[in-house]
Amino acid sequence: MASVTQQQIQKFHKDGFLVLEQFFSAEECDSMRRQIQRIVAEMEVPPHCRTAFSTRQEEQLQQQGSSDYFLTSGDKIRFFFEKGVLDEKGNFLVPKEKSVSKIGHALHACDPVFKQITHSPKVQELGRKLGLERPVVVQSMYIFKQPGIGGEVTPHQDASFLHTEPLGRILGFWIALEDATQENGCLWFIPGSHTNGITRRMVRAASGASTCVEFVGSEPAYDDKQFIPLPINKGGLILIHGEVVHKSELNSSESSRHVFTFHVMEAKGTTWSKENWLQPTPELPFPSLYT
């Protein structure tokens, strides 16, 4: 992997994203895919996905179970499923490995393979080149984008979900473990859209509310013509500024689009919002990117 140039870093600051092809080797990508296969093979379906509900109250309990499962996933390895892949008893209607939408949110801390990738020397070197002084890892996810059912991800800014004061302290590392193409749901970006702040925030709902999180503000209607696609080959890395607007389309192809992604926060002089769904825990304070 060639070292990142100052020119590329300037391009990142101008566009709000940067494509670095062949950042990781095919072997590194394959080791992550093998590890996720093992994790899925051992996966237990969470209880809240397993019950046949009837009454309104039981539905609320299911929602609560599902929201607790999500809200407390920050320091664990947890499973999130595509729609319609489980029956009401929690039995798989499709092969198990094709049912999962994503796995999160602490692979970087709980799994040796993903931990090694997250803290790999080249990632740390890139952090230093970007001028990050006290970067910490806040979350990680393995995203499957299953063939035919991998849903679209509507236009959004990562800082809507991971809010900091000041803004501009969140950085996503998005690693293609397979070629990402326009057919299988590559990312699309609006270049330069990271300079206008954020318009929407996802915050923890007041206790007793029917949902675990709620949105404050709204996502504006973006012009489709402003987005440019960023297809990238297996092993490529896309750096994503926390406020750049991006999306991905439905995967209508026959092939999956596996990705490992993690988010880093510059902790120096930064306050992590107490309203974010994701909170550091005594078991897992946000670990330093630098080892």
Enumerate helices (H) and strands (E) in the chain, giving the number of each: 6, 15
CA dihedral 277, 282, 287, 288 (to 10 degrees): 110
Question: Cβ atoms within 10 A of the Cβ of 149, count?
Answer: 18
Decide: 162 and 139 in contact? Cβ < 8 Å.
Answer: yes
What's the pLDDT at 1? 61
What's the pLDDT at 173? 98
Asked if residue 142 is part of any domain, the answer here is: yes
What's the pLDDT at 223? 95
What does the DSSP 8-state code read for residue 3?
P
Which stretches of the chain are assigned E, i.e. beta strand?
A: 17-20, 77-81, 100-105, 135-143, 153-156, 164-165, 170-176, 187-189, 200-204, 213-217, 228-230, 237-241, 246-248, 259-266, 271-272
Asked if residue 285 is part of any domain, the answer here is: no
pLDDT, block means (10 residues), the chain with 291 residues: 88 98 98 98 89 70 84 96 87 91 97 98 97 98 92 94 97 98 97 96 85 90 96 98 97 95 98 97 97 94
What's the pLDDT at 54? 61
What's the pLDDT at 120? 98
Asked if residue 289 is part of any domain, the answer here is: no
State how far the Cα of 186 lies from the Cα of 153, in Å rounded to an integer. Answer: 10
3-state SS record for 229-248:
EECECCCCEEEEECCCCEEE
14-24 pLDDT, tens per residue?
Answer: 999 999 999 99
Question: Cβ atoms within 10 A of the Cβ of 132, count?
Answer: 20
Q: SS3 for 203? A: strand
Question: Cβ atoms within 10 A of the Cβ of 59, count?
Answer: 12
Asked if residue 282 is part of any domain, the answer here is: no
- Residues of the domain holding 174: 6-272
State how far the Cα of 130 lies from the Cα of 276, in Å rounded to an integer. Answer: 25
User: What is the domain-level CATH number for residue 264?
Assistant: 2.60.120.620
What's the pLDDT at 174? 98
Query: How many folded domains does the chain comprise?
Result: 1
Asked if residue 291 is part of any domain, the answer here is: no
Asked if residue 290 is part of any domain, the answer here is: no
